[in-house]
Amino acid sequence: MAPDYKKLYEIICDLYSNTNHFYYGQWDETFYTLRVFETCKQLIKKTWTKIDEEIVLTAALFHDVGKTKLDTEKKIKEEWDDHPTYGAEIARKILRDQGFVNDFVEKVVYLVKHHGDRPNKLQMVRTEELKILQDADLLADMGIASFIRPFLYSGKNKRKTINSVNYIKSARGKDGSISKENLYRLNLKASKRLAAKMIKESDKLNNKIFKLTESDLLD
């Protein structure tokens, strides 16, 4: 049966809404799950390889759902790397309860479980579906979206807006641009091209933001 993505997204959002950390602010997974899902769609359109689209998009919805098991600051710190394993278990149960066949379920579970196993962490054969999910996970926090998170930190941590602007400035690379470290962790050429475009867009926006705090009143 074809996945009802909206229904699955609503189920997952309900899980996030029951947590203390992942439904609002800088860790709002209802937003970042949406971004990963839409970015996967973009990358699927850009690849010439045959992709099991339903598997990728379903896995995109579930990829970080394991964070719902990290409901305390201590667990977030100590068990962060375990969230893909937790997510695989949650995805398996929900998809089986929704009536999906076992082959479909296990393919989604595989992507969820391994979406954090990048080349610098674990050497393994990556399917095109896994490459797309991993890249979308990085791309979702680039570009304009990368501008949102620091300001969400401001509200939660009572940080001044000017301090958030200064934080963004400090994240710029030695060449004056926003850090491009994630660019080199991407799997696909299409992802790297998209990332370069997104970084350029965020650089322009951030330069405009920086000008808002140029004043003789500030050191």
Residue pLDDT tens, the chain, 219 long: 899 999 999 999 999 999 998 998 888 999 999 999 999 999 999 988 899 999 999 999 999 999 999 988 899 999 999 999 999 999 999 999 999 999 999 999 999 999 998 776 666 778 999 999 999 999 998 877 777 777 777 777 778 888 888 877 777 655 445 555 667 789 999 999 999 888 888 888 888 888 888 888 887
Helix (H, G, I), strand (E, B) or coil at 172: strand
pTM comes to 0.89
Q: Are 43 and 191 within 8 A, CB to CB?
A: yes
Burial string for 50-69 (b: 16+ CB within 10 Å, else e) reads: ebbebbbbbbbbbbbbbbbb
- Return d(Cα 179, Cα 155) in angstroms, integer: 24
* CA distances (Å), origin 111, targets 59, 106, 114, 126: 6, 9, 5, 10
Segments making up each domain of the chain, as ranges: 5-129, 144-211
- Return d(Cα 143, Cα 183) in angstroms, integer: 12
Angle, in degrees to the nearest 10, between helices 29-46 and 5-17: 150
